[in-house]
């Protein structure tokens, strides 16, 4: 596997071979290993941004494990750089790697609001909740500049389209003005992922996202604005952060969260080498313990793709995590069921062409 010498601020340090590729380049740094300036430059990998000219923006999902059918992904790749991210293999469809490429080569769909506007004007559209995002985070740092997620929310508010938001970035509070208006109409719910309360851990596990304290503040601000909030204690990594689950649920409840959920860590395809390299590099003394406990929840493997198992795992350790969640979610009043968002108010937005409907 190719690698840069400890790329600064990146969750991955490798570019595992693309499973669809037929050629694979391995860097040879032997002839420059004594060039300190060159080697230092390699540590500071620049993030590259590319325009994604996709002609559609809404994806459809039919997995029985995923509680939504439609989703919007304004970005491909994610600067957050979480080593465990299940979305990493999606970059391989672009001819790139699930490692460093995933977090240094980001694609943005500038036309997403327009595409959503036109998609909602289809005559056969039966309104239901659309989730942002099903793959990479819709509030990753590039959103500050491009405001694509905000543009989609503006269309959703105009159309009275119910939206579920999943993020781990406190940038979501920037859009409280829109979200609060949607909340008054029963059109929105925001889920924030809080993986750990330990800033030292999240700094290396999720290197370019919001701190735990910032995420809890975001939950508080959203809740104060009347926006329904969910804390996702996800992913739970046995032997690493599962012991924090009670404390996370307590802190989120105190911040104003109304609901909670969790997902067991998933390591599909090329996520495995990225996460295992991270584990060996950042937590070598805990590597064997964490790996063995993950395997104990996946029938001896590092991952399971079986519906009904992949989100929760199997075996005593998985059952213990599940029971812990149920006990403490109930204790802190986070175990209620979501009320469905209101799809009855939907009205087609003004088409991007400006041409209004006759009927």
In this predicted model, what pLDDT tens digit does every residue of 203-251 receive, in sequence order? 999 999 999 999 999 999 999 999 999 999 999 999 999 999 999 999 9
Instruction: Show the tokens assigned to 162.
Output: 């119910």
| Rounded (5°) CA angle 58-63-66 | 80
CA distances for 78 relative to 69, 167, 199, 230, angstroms:
22, 12, 20, 22
Q: What's residue 356's pLDDT?
A: 60
pLDDT computed for residue 5 by the predictor: 53
Residue 166 confidence (pLDDT): 97
pLDDT of amino acid 357 = 59
| pLDDT computed for residue 9 by the predictor | 83
**CA contacts within 13 A on the Cβ side of 198:** 10
pLDDT recorded at residue 83: 95
pLDDT digits over 321-346, tens only? 999 999 999 999 999 988 899 999 99
Task: Give the residue ranges of the chain where pLDDT is below 50.
Answer: 1-4, 38-39
Contact between 96 and 105 (Cβ < 8 Å): yes
pLDDT for the residue numbered 2? 42
pLDDT recorded at residue 304: 93
């Amino acid at each position: 596997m190719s690698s840069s010498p400890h790329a600064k601020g990146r969750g991955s340090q490798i570019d595992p071979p693309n499973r669809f590729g037929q050629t694979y380049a391995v860097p040879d740094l032997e002839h420059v290993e004594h060039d300190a300036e060159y080697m230092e430059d390699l540590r500071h990998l620049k993030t590259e941004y590319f325009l994604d000219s996709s002609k559609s923006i809404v994806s459809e999902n039919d997995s029985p494990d995923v509680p939504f059918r439609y989703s919007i992904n304004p970005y491909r790749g994610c600067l957050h750089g979480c080593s465990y991210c299940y979305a990493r293999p999606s970059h391989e469809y672009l001819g790139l790697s699930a490692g460093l490429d995933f977090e240094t080569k980001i694609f943005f769909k500038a036309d997403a609001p327009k595409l959503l506007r036109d998609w909602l004007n289809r005559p056969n559209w039966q309104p239901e909740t659309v989730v942002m995002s099903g793959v990479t985070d819709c509030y990753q740092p590039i959103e500050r500049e491009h405001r694509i997620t905000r543009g989609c929310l503006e269309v959703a508010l105009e159309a009275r389209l119910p939206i579920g938001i999943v993020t781990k970035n406190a940038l979501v509070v920037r859009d409280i003005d829109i979200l609060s208006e949607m909340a008054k109409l029963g059109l929105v719910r925001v889920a924030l992922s809080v993986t750990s309360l330990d800033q030292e851990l999240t700094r290396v596990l999720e290197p370019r996202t919001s701190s735990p304290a910032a995420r809890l503040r975001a939950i508080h601000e959203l809740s104060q604005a009347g926006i329904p909030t969910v804390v996702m204690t996800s992913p739970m990594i046995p032997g690493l952060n599962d012991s924090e689950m009670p404390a996370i649920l307590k802190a989120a409840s105190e911040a104003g969260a109304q609901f909670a959920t969790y997902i067991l860590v998933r390591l599909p395809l090329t996520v495995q080498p990225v996460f295992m390299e991270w584990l060996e590099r950042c937590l070598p003394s805990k590597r064997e313990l964490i790996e063995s406990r993950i395997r104990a929840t996946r029938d001896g493997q590092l991952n399971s793709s079986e519906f009904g198992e992949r989100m929760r795992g199997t075996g005593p350790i998985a059952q213990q995590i599940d029971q812990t969640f149920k006990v403490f979610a109930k204790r802190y009043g986070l175990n209620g069921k979501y009320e469905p968002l209101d799809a009855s108010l939907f009205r087609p937005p003004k088409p991007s062409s400006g041409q209004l409907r006759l009927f």
